[in-house]
């Protein structure tokens, strides 16, 4: 990060931290949107603990997401995801990055809505594809035409992600820029509150 951006984002981080209070900040969005990398960066900037639900699921089950899908199927994975997220949300403030399907599950979405401030990292198909295409560990993309599968998920899921409290574009720019945009959106919550 260059120095000017660092100085500017320090003040911004303080504003965002104050706006968040004791609430959690929960990242939602499609695979490759940057929930894990941007979430970790934002947590560092805010000075609050970071947790990634996929990572936490893998830790408690001692299995990879792929192994879980293969052994128990998506339904069992979702049930585990709901339980893990419910537990992680109990103690704020934290930054929590969720798996791509978490907010789509009605019960998990309800927990997230009451458990803190949700932020949708929104990206277009080409950006997502360029990012997820580098690795092949995502079970829902192990199909004959993974780019088409990703596009289908966008069509199904974008109206639901849009229910998040905040939306931040995750474009092909440096991670620090996206993280800074998240801080701006969170800091803006306090200003919204002042207007009412």
Ligand X SMILES: O=C(O)C1=C[C@@H](O)[C@@H](O)[C@H](O)C1
Ligand Y SMILES: Nc1ncnc2c1ncn2[C@@H]1O[C@H](COP(=O)(O)OP(=O)(O)OP(=O)(O)O)[C@@H](O)[C@H]1O
Return d(Cα 149, Cα 10) in angstroms, integer: 39
Least distance from ligand X to the Cβ atom of residue 169, Å: 19
DSSP assignment of 118-133? EEEEE--HHHHHHHHT
- The pair of structure tokens assigned to 52 is 């990634």
Residue 65 binding: pick among Mg ion, ligand X, ligand Y, none (C-beta 5-8 Å cut-off by kind): ligand X
Return d(Cα 72, Cα 121) in angstroms, integer: 29
Least distance from ligand X to the Cβ atom of residue 153, Å: 7
**Footprint of ligand Y on residues 4-63 (CB under 6 A)?**
29, 31-37, 54
Judged by beta carbon, residue 35 or residue 94, the one nearer Mg ion is 35
By CB under 5 A, residue 53 contacts Mg ion = no
Query: What does residue 66 show for φ and ψ, rounded to 5 degrees?
Result: -60, -45
Query: x/- binding map, residues 22-51, to Mg ion, per CB under 5 A?
Result: -------------xx---------------
Q: Is 37 annotated as a binding residue?
A: yes
178 CB contacts (<8 Å, ≥6 apart)? 34, 38, 121, 168, 169, 170, 171
Among 23, 78, 113, 131, binds ligand Y (CB under 6 A): 131
Judged by beta carbon, residue 47 or residue 73, the one nearer ligand X is 73
- Reduced to 3 states (helix: H, G, I; strand: E, B; else coil), residue 88 is helix
Return d(Cα 51, Cα 127) in angstroms, integer: 24
Q: Is 126 annotated as a binding residue?
A: no
Q: Is 157 annotated as a binding residue?
A: yes
Nearest to 68 by CA among 55, 58, 59, 79: 58
Q: Residues annotated as binding site for Mg(2+)?
A: 36
Residues lying near ligand X in the complex (CB under 6 A) are found at 31, 54, 65, 99-101, 138-140
Residues lying near ligand Y in the complex (CB under 6 A) are found at 29, 31-37, 54, 97, 99-100, 131, 138, 173, 175, 178
Q: Residues annotated as binding site for ATP?
A: 32-37, 138
């Amino acid at each position: 990060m260059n120095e000017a951006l660092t100085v500017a984002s320090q003040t911004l981080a303080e504003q965002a931290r104050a706006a968040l209070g004791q609430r959690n900040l929960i990242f939602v969005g499609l695979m490759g949107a940057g929930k894990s990398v941007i979430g970790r960066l934002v947590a560092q900037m805010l000075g609050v603990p970071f947790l990634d639900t996929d990572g936490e699921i893998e830790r408690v089950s001692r299995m990879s997401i792929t192994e879980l899908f293969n052994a128990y199927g998506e339904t069992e994975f979702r049930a585990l995801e709901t339980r893990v997220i419910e537990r992680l949300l109990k103690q704020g403030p934290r930054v929590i990055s969720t798996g791509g399907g978490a907010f789509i599950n009605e019960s998990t979405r309800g927990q997230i809505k009451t458990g803190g401030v949700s932020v949708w990292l929104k990206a277009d198909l080409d950006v997502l594809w360029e990012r997820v295409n580098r690795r092949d560990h995502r079970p829902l993309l192990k199909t004959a035409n993974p780019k088409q599968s990703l596009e289908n998920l966008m069509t199904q899921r974008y109206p639901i992600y849009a229910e998040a409290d905040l939306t931040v574009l995750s474009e092909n720019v440096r991670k620090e820029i996206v993280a800074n945009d998240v801080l701006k959106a969170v800091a803006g919550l306090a200003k919204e509150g002042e207007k009412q």
